[in-house]
Amino acid sequence: MGDWGSEVNKGGLPFDGSPDSKPLHKVTLDSFFISKYPVTYAEFDVFTAARQLPRINQAKAVQQYRKPNNPAGVTWQGASDYCAWLAEQTGKPYALPTEAQWEYAARSGGKRHVYPTDNGQSEPGRNLPSYDQRKAAGGMIAVGTFPPNSAGIYNMSAGIHEWVHDWYDKNYYSNSARKNPTGPASGTQHVARGWTGSDHSAMTFKRWPQSENPPQGTWTLYPADGKKESIREIPFTMYSHFAGNAFRCVRSGR
């Protein structure tokens, strides 16, 4: 796990200037299955309906992202609860992926792929979205729009970052367990993986601290027809979060 640039680049330079992806270290994982796609709004709406909860992300400002086949933007707790609910429904051990599982999958089985794409390289417009493509799609790319990585997994670099199980600690790699690491025992932020705003940030070993901090209070619903109707203040619904905070689930075992 981590940035192996110093082993392959001229002058021993890393790929990533951040200390978060260092030191490079070996881990071993038991077998697992990971979702082919991030969980979509259509899928998450089934979960909230089953729990008799209102739908997430109803604010007007995020309606452009809220399409059935777009990745659902949720809190970490919402992601964790969805995977737990899936486990209840199926009787199989679903959960959020650990950071190590996510990286192994992004690198198509632990290969030294810098990007989680079909060839391990970044080719905006062909194997990951360009700025213009994201803009044309309303800021969010539908799942399955671009080719999967060579392990058959989609959207790991398609304009989203993904929650993983682990608490965040910038020094964790120095103390990581060698087998099935699950991160620190506690923390104030969780790890997010994937794209966070630039092509460079989508590298397979980049890691980010991400605060849950869902929107608080209410959002304003203005009259759709422009008439002088009452402006309503609507509370943010449970699990609502910003559009880019996506997730997928894993299932352990054979």
- pLDDT tens digit string along 172-189? 999 999 999 999 999 999
**251 sits in which H/E element:** strand 250-252
- Which domains, ranges and CATH numbers included, belong to the chain? 29-252 (3.90.1580.10)
The predicted pLDDT at position 116 comes to 94
**Residue closest to 210 by CA, chosen among 238, 183, 237:** 183
* pLDDT > 60? residue 82: yes
Give the predicted TM-score (pTM) of the model. 0.91
- Given pLDDT bands bounded at 50, 70 and 90, which one contains residue 191? very high
Tokens matching residue 51: 């729990």
Ranking 32-46, 91-105, 183-197, 207-221 by mean pLDDT, the lowest is: 207-221
- pLDDT tens digit string along 122-170? 999 999 888 899 889 888 999 999 999 999 999 998 788 999 999 999 9
φ, ψ of residue 5 in degrees (nearest 5): -55, -35
The predicted pLDDT at position 243 comes to 84
Cis peptide before 23 (omega within 30 of 0): yes
* pLDDT > 80? residue 213: no
Query: Taking a C-beta distance cutoff of 8 angstroms, is the pair 154, 37 a contact?
Result: yes
